[in-house]
Amino acid sequence: MVLTRTYYVYIMTNNSRTLYTGVTNNLERRVYEHKKGSIKGFTKRYNIDQLVYYDLCPDINEAIKREKQIKGWLRQKKIKLIETMNPEWKDLSEGWFDE
């Protein structure tokens, strides 16, 4: 039996719409870590805590390739991508965690 994993390429933001693109095999856990500030670095420093876009990839190499592609885009192209899925920039993880 072959187990397949799902990988996620995601974009998170803050109230100032600073963008962060990442990849993970557990979107819920990773978003929780961002929201709680448990990961040192860019997302903690800029309070990146709102999930505004994600996409599924069946293969880690494909997910990493997609993440690098998006990171290489100009901001305006990233915004267009987000708005195809989430035109109102709602936090797609709203209601996932008990507050």
pLDDT tens figures, 34-87? 999 998 899 999 999 999 999 999 999 999 999 999 999 999 999 999 999 999
Domain assignment present for residue 1? The answer is: no
Residues in CB range of 28: below 8 A, 6 or more apart: 93, 96
CA distance linking residue 46 with residue 34, whole number of Å:
10
Can you give the pTM of this predicted structure?
0.92
Q: Report the pLDDT averaged over residues 5-19.
A: 96
> Which CATH number do you get for residue 36?
3.40.1440.10
Domain assignment present for residue 97? The answer is: no
pLDDT band at residue 99 using 50, 70 and 90 as cut-offs: low
Domain assignment present for residue 22? The answer is: yes
Domain assignment present for residue 2? The answer is: no
Domain assignment present for residue 98? The answer is: no
Q: How many domains does the chain have?
A: 1
Given a contact cutoff of 8 angstroms between Cβ atoms, the answer to whether 72 and 11 are in contact is: no
